[in-house]
A = this chain, B = another copy of it.
Amino acid sequence: MSPRKSVAEALSTRAAILDRSVAIASAEGLEGLTIGRLAGDLGMSKAGVLGHFGSKEALQLAVLARAGEVFRAEVWEPAIPAAPGLARLRVLCEAWISYLEREVFPGGCFFVAAAHEFDGRPGPVRDAVESRFDAWRGRLRKEAGRAVDAGELPERTDPGQLVFDLLGTAMALNHAIQLHRDPRAPELARRTVQARLGRPAAATGQVRRDPPEPATDPAR
């Protein structure tokens, strides 16, 4: 009954496998995602599942790509309408916090989990995780640099330092939600972002007049 499916059916099956895979891997990790469990959940045979990807590693890479599409839609795209520089950086950070707060991936940020799982295991999966982080850091850094160049952030602000700190805020938030289930954590994350980026003006897209103070070292 089931062999010889049409191309459209095969693509839809593939999409269903990936959606289920993202859900499993979000909670159990990319290594805890097993072909057998996936097949059981989907009412398919293991060979049927594996046939779409060829190997578990290829499945893991496809799952990462799918999770990347979700992250892009949730966090990158909402910032497209915002003005480049500080305004867009603020929208990116708020979308990022919201994405973690709403638990778009039920097990927390997919990429942070994958980074911890694979940072000690050289190979294509590790490389894919690293390059996704590089792309995201680059995105943040570009807007941070624009904000400094435009005088929206203090001239002495180091964009690399700012991005490092924002990554830390997101990781602390992800951790507080996933391990401690702390409902106050998003508020803490928002306060930290406000301390670095200031509070947006009431009207969307409006240029701020008073840039935030740098988090300087007063004892220097």
B-binding residues in A (CB < 8 A): 26-29, 31-32, 106-108, 112-113, 115-117, 119-121, 129-130, 133-134, 160-161, 164-165, 167-173, 175-176, 178-180, 185, 188-189, 191-192, 194-196, 198-200, 208, 210-213, 215-220
Contact = CB atoms under 8 A, between A and B. Distances in A.
Given A165-B169, A171-B175, A218-B213, A119 B133 contact: no
- Interface secondary structure of A, over-half rule: helix
A213 B212 contact: no
B210 A219 contact: yes
B199 A220 contact: yes
Contacts of A211: 218
Contacts of A213: 213, 216, 218
Contacts of A106: 120
A129 B115 CA distance: 19
A113 B106 CA distance: 18
